[in-house]
Amino acid sequence: MNAGPTPNNEAPFEAATPVGFIAEFGATAMALGRTARELYSLFVRTLYYSFRGKREPGAVVTYMFEIGNRSLFFITVVMGFIGMIMVYQGGAQTKRVLPDLTLLGANFIELLIRDFAASIGGLMLATRVGAGIAAEIGSMVVTEQIDALRMCAADPVDYLVKPRFLASIVMTAVLGIWSAAVAFLTGMATAFVWFDVSPRTFASLLLVDSVDLGTGLAKCIAYGAAIPIVSAHAGLSTFGGSEGVGTATTRAVVNSSLAVIVLNLIISAASFLLFG
Amino acid sequence: MALRLAPHRAFVGTAHVIGTMGLLASRIFSRVASLQFDRDELIRNLYRMGFQSMPIVIVTALFTGAIMVVQAAPLVNRLGAHGLLGWAAGFGTLREVAPLLTALMISGRVGANNTAELGTMVVTEQVDALRILAIDPISFLVAPRFVAITLTLFIATIFADVLALLGAAWMGDLLLGVAPATFYNGLTSGLLGVGDVTSGMLKSILFGGLIGLSSCQFGLSVTGGAPGVGRAVNATVVASATGVFVIDYFVSFTL
């Protein structure tokens, strides 16, 4: 697990010559390819250990608490505000083109289930959970606890990454559903207060079909799987003492957020093209 | 960690964080207003935080623009409102999506990194060493970083506005067959005003100030060695993300 230093971390000012630029570009591309290969290998090993690894009782539950319950307050605050903002902005804009707002709730709930609950929740978890995982594993790498694990014939992937991976998949799905519920409630309140849309009209599942539900859940599971893998990779490739842990944490947050955004585009486009 | 599950602790913790951030803000503003901060440090930080974040900002903006159109696609098809796609995408991008997503990415890359750096300096007593040398840590370390983060986010949001609209136009052409010219017409047909752009810009300045302030504050108040730095980074990203959404809510409602 050696990703090498990020190539443009401390790039010198004079790297503006054409050759320097091309060299830097190539180095970045090669580092990207290497990271992708390592991520793939880590993912495959984690999957393998998920079925074949040693069962450590309680580990998954501990991390489920760490990832899920500890994020509950954060997720609730953020999704509550998101629900209010979306309904307010959506309603204010729709009023400019269409006179009636009866479909505001139906459209909001469809969007929420298909995308926003999973994606905003996923982005929030990527920052909180990703930073936590990378900081934990990174400081273990720096203090040579990972090497100690290897000496005890315990694969760090089996011992550290697998329980976080399983816990994150379960809790991201659970928190995705919770996010949808919170945003729905605050959205309903906003619609009632600002646009006089009664809660009965707002809470309409008219436009929600199984494709929306399936897309939303698929996103939850994909994010839940991607975040711990990307962050654990950042943590395991920590180098350079306590300062390195900070860099690894940053890399984990950025890369898992990017992973969420890229997966979102892929899954959304696939679902639109496949099911219309 | 200010955000625990126990409500009373969360409340006291949040009040403590907000209070210390206010104090730090007043110190930073007094240095910035009297121009007592290190220019070289500001330029160095602008290069590291601003210029080197551009790849992330570009990728995020292009993808989010595309995602917005993919999400709107069933609705557009249902209503047959292809001409309104430019307006809808422009409105969502300029007012909400570009400032929010850029702030989240910058908070992850720059804010977290800033906390880690300042935290490591505090833990290794480099900040105390600065004080011994009669160098004011606020004007040498903190104020330039604060200004750099705010400027970075402001400029990055302008980039993100343009690029997200490009991504949206491209995806609209690809997925819905909305020609870029139609998209551009929807964007400029008069439903969008200057207010939509300035609202997003104002948000980005507030978000930048918040990220700068919270990342400096959590970095300076690190205790407990290297694990403390990890905890502080975690607290920064959580506080920045929550604060960004709360500020967004209030700005959206008042403008």
Contacts of B226 in chain A (CB under 8 A): 139, 142, 241-242, 245
The structure tokens 């309680």 sit at A58
Residue A35 maps to a domain? no
**Structure token digits, residue A27:** 């180095």
pLDDT of residue A6: 44
Q: Among residues A69, A134, A148, A8, which one has the least CA distance to residue B229?
A: A134
The beta-strand segments (E) located in B121-194 are none
* Residue B122: pLDDT over 80: yes
Determine whether the interchain pair A132/B248 forms a contact, defined as Cβ–Cβ distance below 8 Å: no
pLDDT of residue A7: 44
Distance of residue A246 Cα from the nearest chain B Cα, in angstroms:
5
Determine whether the interchain pair A73/B115 forms a contact, defined as Cβ–Cβ distance below 8 Å: no
When mean pLDDT is compared across A187-201, B183-197, B200-214, the lowest value belongs to: B183-197
pLDDT of residue A199: 87
Between B28 and B6, the more confident residue is B28
pLDDT of residue A4: 42
Residue B1 maps to a domain? no
Query: Which of A98, A253, A266 is the mutation pick for testing B, counting most B CBs within 10 A?
Result: A253
Q: Is B250 on the interface with A (CB under 8 A)?
A: no
Give the dihedral sign, CA A143/A146/A147/A152.
positive
Residue B167 maps to a domain? yes
When mean pLDDT is compared across A181-185, A187-191, B112-116, B251-255, the lowest value belongs to: B251-255
**Section A144-170 average pLDDT:** 91
Task: Give me the phi and psi of B138, to 5 degrees please.
Answer: -65, -45
The shortest CB-CB distance from B120 to any of A243, A258, A262 is to: A243
Residue A21 maps to a domain? no
Residue A39 maps to a domain? no
Task: Give me the phi and psi of B122, to 5 degrees please.
Answer: -65, -45
Residues contacting residue B40 through CB under 8 Å, at least 6 positions apart: none
Residue A168 maps to a domain? yes
Residue A27 maps to a domain? no
pLDDT of residue B133: 93
**Section A32-49 average pLDDT:** 92
Residue A264 maps to a domain? yes
pLDDT of residue B215: 93
The shortest CB-CB distance from B229 to any of A9, A245, A261 is to: A245
C-alpha to C-alpha distance for B151 and A12, rounded to whole angstroms: 21
Q: Among residues B120, B155, B140, which one has the least CA distance to residue B42?
A: B140
Distance of residue B237 Cα from the nearest chain A Cα, in angstroms:
6
Determine whether the interchain pair A111/B71 forms a contact, defined as Cβ–Cβ distance below 8 Å: yes
Distance of residue B37 Cα from the nearest chain A Cα, in angstroms:
22
Distance of residue B26 Cα from the nearest chain A Cα, in angstroms:
27
pLDDT of residue A153: 87
Residue B175 maps to a domain? yes
C-alpha to C-alpha distance for A22 and A14, rounded to whole angstroms: 13
Residue B2 maps to a domain? no
Distance of residue B230 Cα from the nearest chain A Cα, in angstroms:
5
* Residue A1: pLDDT over 50: no
Q: Is B230 on the interface with A (CB under 8 A)?
A: yes
**Section A131-160 average pLDDT:** 89
Q: Which domain holds residue A217?
A: 57-275
Q: Report the domain count for chain B.
A: 1
Determine whether the interchain pair A242/B73 forms a contact, defined as Cβ–Cβ distance below 8 Å: no
Residues contacting residue A259 through CB under 8 Å, at least 6 positions apart: A126, A223, A226, A227, A230
Residue A20 maps to a domain? no
Q: Is B254 on the interface with A (CB under 8 A)?
A: no
pLDDT of residue B6: 67
Give the dihedral sign, CA A156/A162/A165/A168.
negative
Q: What is the pLDDT of residues B162-180, one digit of tens each?
A: 999 999 999 888 888 888 8
The shortest CB-CB distance from A246 to any of B56, B67, B120 is to: B120
Gyration radius (Cα) of chain A, Å: 22
Q: Are A94 and A101 in contact (CB under 8 A)?
A: yes
C-alpha to C-alpha distance for A62 and A112, rounded to whole angstroms: 30
pLDDT of residue A194: 87
pLDDT of residue A9: 46
pLDDT of residue A185: 94
**Section B220-241 average pLDDT:** 84
Q: Report the domain count for chain A.
A: 1
Q: Are B69 and B172 in contact (CB under 8 A)?
A: yes
Contacts of A142 in chain B (CB under 8 A): 226
C-alpha to C-alpha distance for A265 and B174, rounded to whole angstroms: 14
Q: Among residues A146, A123, A118, A149, which one has the least CA distance to residue A212?
A: A118
Distance of residue A52 Cα from the nearest chain B Cα, in angstroms:
32
C-alpha to C-alpha distance for A238 and A227, rounded to whole angstroms: 17
Residue A235 maps to a domain? yes
Residue B41 maps to a domain? yes
pTM: 0.85
Residue B82 maps to a domain? yes
Distances (CA, A) of A71 to A64, A77, A127, A233, B120: 10, 10, 11, 21, 26
Determine whether the interchain pair A250/B112 forms a contact, defined as Cβ–Cβ distance below 8 Å: yes
C-alpha to C-alpha distance for B22 and B28, rounded to whole angstroms: 10
C-alpha to C-alpha distance for A42 and A44, rounded to whole angstroms: 6
* Residue B86: pLDDT over 50: yes
Q: Which residues of A249-273 are buried (b: 16+ CB within 10 A; e: fewer)?
A: bbbbbbbbbbbbbebbbebbbebbe
pLDDT of residue B178: 84
**Structure token digits, residue B225:** 């060695």
Average pLDDT score, chain B:
87
Residues contacting residue B83 through CB under 8 Å, at least 6 positions apart: B182, B185, B186
Determine whether the interchain pair A78/B241 forms a contact, defined as Cβ–Cβ distance below 8 Å: yes
* Residue B216: pLDDT over 90: yes
Between B99 and A243, the more confident residue is B99
Residue B196 maps to a domain? yes
Determine whether the interchain pair B71/A249 forms a contact, defined as Cβ–Cβ distance below 8 Å: no
Query: Which of A257, A264, A267 is the mutation pick for testing B, counting most B CBs within 10 A?
Result: A257
pLDDT of residue A16: 57
Q: Which domain holds residue B196?
A: 7-254
* Residue A237: pLDDT over 60: yes
C-alpha to C-alpha distance for B118 and B222, rounded to whole angstroms: 9
Determine whether the interchain pair A246/B91 forms a contact, defined as Cβ–Cβ distance below 8 Å: no
pLDDT of residue A81: 92
Residue B51 maps to a domain? yes
